[in-house]
Amino acid sequence: MSRRILIFALVMFVSACGLTGPRSMDNEGADSFEEDVRTARSLSEEFWKQQFSQLGRVYLPINAFIPYSGGSGPNCGGAPAAPNNAFYCSAGHFIAYDQTWMESLWSEMGDGSVYVIIPHEFGHAVQAQLQAGFQLNVQAELQADCYAGGTLAALVRSGALTAEPGDENELITSLEAAGDPTDDWLNPSAHGTAEQRQQSFLLGYSRGVTAC
């Protein structure tokens, strides 16, 4: 699927919700970075609690949600936190994020970036609980993108979040900026190209997390 077609498709899926609202996707009208982060976290966890419950399983909430700045983040299994990053740590079952970096994305791209990054990291927390096994890192990353799309779509459909004109562009821009420059699946740090990440997100957004 070409990038132009992919973008058009995502625009159609988001616009089809027919929802308009305040500047923020948060239907409570959150207008600060901190409020959007809190909303993205709480709604993502509530969504997965419901998903696990429907499967007869119990979702284990993350132990901590840790903001940091630059190189001051928490270690994960002995590995230091990297600046300009957000990550899930299975060793401590926590999510950490470079607050300065993510807030700059929020300011430059809009709140859609928060509602992609945080559900993506919760996708990794879900993978850990489901004991998903992947031979390649890129497979786990693309599934987490798919989970993020499915989470966001479910929250929009339920009315927990609103989608307004421009939100779809924020989502596309967030994913494009995070794509790998080359399609090197054997690279242990590969996350997928911009188009691959957008396609995975769209799969979840259009068909739900069960399609991931």
pLDDT at 3: 31
pLDDT at 71: 84
pLDDT at 125: 97
Q: Is the pLDDT of residue 66 over 90?
A: yes
Q: Is the pLDDT of residue 11 over 50?
A: no
- Hey, which bits of 46-197 come out as E strands? 64-68, 86-89, 94-98
pLDDT at 166: 58
pLDDT tier at 187, thresholds 50, 70, 90: low
- Cα distance between residue 29 and residue 55, in whole Å: 32
Block residue for tokens 């879900």: 126
Conformational region of residue 96, where left means phi above 0, alpha means psi within -120 to 50, and beta covers everything else: beta
Query: 28 phi and psi, to 5 degrees?
Result: -85, 0
Q: What is the pTM of this model?
A: 0.81
Q: Is the pLDDT of residue 168 over 90?
A: no
Please give the mean pLDDT across all residues of the chain.
80
37 compared with 26, residue with greater pLDDT? 37
pLDDT at 86: 93
What is the pLDDT averaged over residues 168-193? 62
Calculate what percentage of the chain has a pLDDT beyond 90: 50
Paired tokens of 63: 């132990």
Q: Is the pLDDT of residue 26 over 90?
A: no
pLDDT at 165: 63
pLDDT at 111: 82
pLDDT at 68: 96
